[in-house]
Amino acid sequence: MDRTAALGLPSASARHAVESPYAWWRLAVSLLLMTIGGSGMYSVTVVLPAIQSEFGIDRGAASLPYTLTMIGFGIGGVLMGRMADRFGVLVPVAVGGVALGAGFIAAGLAPGLWTFGLAQGVLIGLLGTSATFAPLVSDTSQWFDRRRGTALAICMSGNYVAGAVWPPVMQHFIDGVGWRQTYVGMGVFCLLTILPLAWFLRPRPPAPEPVQSHASEAAAAAVAGTSRPMGLSPATAQALLCVAGVACCVAMSMPQVHIVAYCTDLGFGAARGAEMLAVMLGMGVISRLASGWISDRIGGLKTLLLGSVLQGIALLMFLPFDGLVSLYLVSAMFGLFQGGIVPSYALIVRQHFSPAEAGARMGTVLMATLFGMALGGWMSGAVFDLTGSYRAAFLNGIGWNVINLSIVLFLLHRVHSLARARAG
């Protein structure tokens, strides 16, 4: 007889079961890790005005380190996801902690733009922040079934908690000691925190169980069979989701990447812009938690549709309002409206594709959303350089949002057609 059973204690498999207390405790650790690792994504937006001034470059060139970071982030998500599949999530998270610390220190000591950009793209994006995103999302999805949407939303909220916490904290230290010393300090902090936390993720996920969902679209997917997700070939369905992910995140990146620079141009100062970014992403946390609850009831596609419509409305609000108070309010609205978009893609993959392929497909779709952020961050800066105004950049973002909305409506039409055909 097992010793734990003889003592009347739950077995290891029971303690580490799906939706067990341990699963929720592990989710809390993942949330904290994603919050710390997310610093690499938002730090470069805070220092954008500083590096533009120090290196003597235009706004488009100053946006390139963010683009390199997000490209590295996206590619690294797939690489780190495969590493997690083979060795467990502990290994990529530990690698990411070391790379993130080294990346911040190297970027803080960089003599020029390209050295800074390489440190951001390779160490911080490709090997660092990526290890605390896609692997943790995939790992979390394997520890929950009935509340999977809620759990994914909580986990991915770490990305927005990072955006709410780090911009004002970093801006405070930048104002006090400069951006270089702030970067070095962030590197030391990441090394001292991520590695100990990663050790708590040693247990591997339990054996997979059939996905349980109350969403009607999941039922339609089950009827159609995972070999034809949404009535399409898997390659076509994934390609459409990837294009939608790029489009929505090009739109999303405009305020997130350039709000600090926008406020500087308007004469409000970088500190006010950092506060607006914190407000935007803090409201995004609320949005992600709410969208998780909603998606468990209406499914990922309908939640994505809702987020896409609301994001478009919020982007439109940036056009007529450029006062200090109104920008705080519109930034809060933007965060509240769009925070649930990216988690919806992870849930859509879990609902409509074969569970055996979900991990790789989830990493690919999330990579597409990050490429969208990378493209949008650079594109908005380039549009600004061409026009001398952010108005055209906001209009560009709205156009990309319309593309996303069109794809989501098409996929929903496919799902509903399948359901009607089955009922008939």
3-state SS, one letter per residue, for the chain = CCHHHHCCCCCHHHHCCCCCHHHHHHHHHHHHHHHHHCHHHHHHHHCHHHHHHHHCCCHHHHHHHHHHHHHHHHHHHHHHHHHHHHHCCHHHHHHHHHHHHHHHHHHHCCCCHHHHHHHHHHHHHHCCHHHHCHHHHHHHHCCCCCCHHHHHHHHHHHHHHHHHHHHHHHHHHHHHHCHHHHHHHHHHHHHHHHHHHHHHHCCCCCCCCCCCCCCHHHHHHHHHCCCCHHHCCHHHHHHHHHHHHHHHHHHHHHHHHHHHHHHHHHCCCHHHHHHHHHHHHHHHHHHHHHHHHHHHHHCHHHHHHHHHHHHHHHHHHCCCCCCHHHHHHHHHHHHHHHCCHHHHHHHHHHHHCCCCCHHHHHHHHHHHHHHHHHHHHHHHHHHHHHHCCCHHHHHHHHHHHHHHHHHHHHHHHHHHHHHHHHHC
Range of the domain at 278: 21-423
> CB–CB of 246/239 below 8 Å?
no
Quick: pLDDT tens for 116-137.
999 999 999 999 999 999 889 8
Name 55's Cβ contacts closer than 8 Å, sequence gap at least 6. 62, 112, 113, 116
**For the ranges 2-11, 251-260, 261-270, 300-309, which has the lowest average pLDDT?**
2-11
Q: How far apart are CA 252 and CA 38, in angstroms?
A: 17
CA 199 to chain CA centroid, Å, is 23
Over range 57-76, report the average pLDDT: 87
13 pLDDT more than 90: no
C-beta of residue 237 within 8 angstroms of C-beta of residue 397:
no
Distance CA 415, CA 226 (A): 12
Whether 200 is in a domain gets the answer yes
The burial class, CB within 10 Å (0-12 / 13-18 / 19+), for 22 is middle
Looking at the predicted structure, is the pLDDT value of residue 178 above 90? yes
In this structure, the number of other CB atoms found within 10 A of the CB of residue 422 comes to 11
Which residue bears the tokens 């970071």?
A: 69
Confidence band, pLDDT 50/70/90 cuts, at residue 424? low
Q: Residue 241 falls within a domain, yes or no?
A: yes
In a domain, 90, yes or no: yes
Domain membership flag for residue 10:
no
pLDDT over 90 at 417, yes or no: no
Residue 5 maps to a domain: no
Between the two ends of the chain, the Cα-to-Cα distance in Å is: 55
In a domain, 308, yes or no: yes
Provide mean pLDDT across the span 12-41. Answer: 88
Distance from C-alpha of 148 to C-alpha of 212, rounded to nearest angstrom: 9
Enter the pTM of the model.
Answer: 0.75
Q: How many residues does the chain have?
A: 424
Assess whether pLDDT exceeds 70 at residue 215.
Answer: no
In a domain, 117, yes or no: yes
Range from 73-87, 247-261, 379-393 carrying the lowest mean pLDDT: 73-87
- 374, 362, 345, 355: which is closest to 63 by C-alpha? 374
Across residues 212-227, what is the average pLDDT? 48
| Mean pLDDT for all residues in the chain | 86
> Looking at residue 153, which CATH number applies to its domain?
1.20.1250.20
What are the CA-CA distances from residue 65 to residues 78, 99, 311 (Å)? 20, 17, 25
Q: What is the pLDDT of residue 14?
A: 60
- Examine the pLDDT at 88 and tell me if it is beyond 70: yes
In the predicted structure, residue 356 carries a pLDDT above the cut 70 = no
Task: Report phi then psi at 262, rounded to 5.
Answer: -60, -45
pLDDT exceeds cutoff 70 at 223: no
Give the whole-number percent of the chain exceeding pLDDT 90: 47
Q: Which of 86-95, 214-223, 270-279, 315-324 has the lowest mean pLDDT?
A: 214-223
Instruction: Tell me how many domains the chain contains.
Output: 1
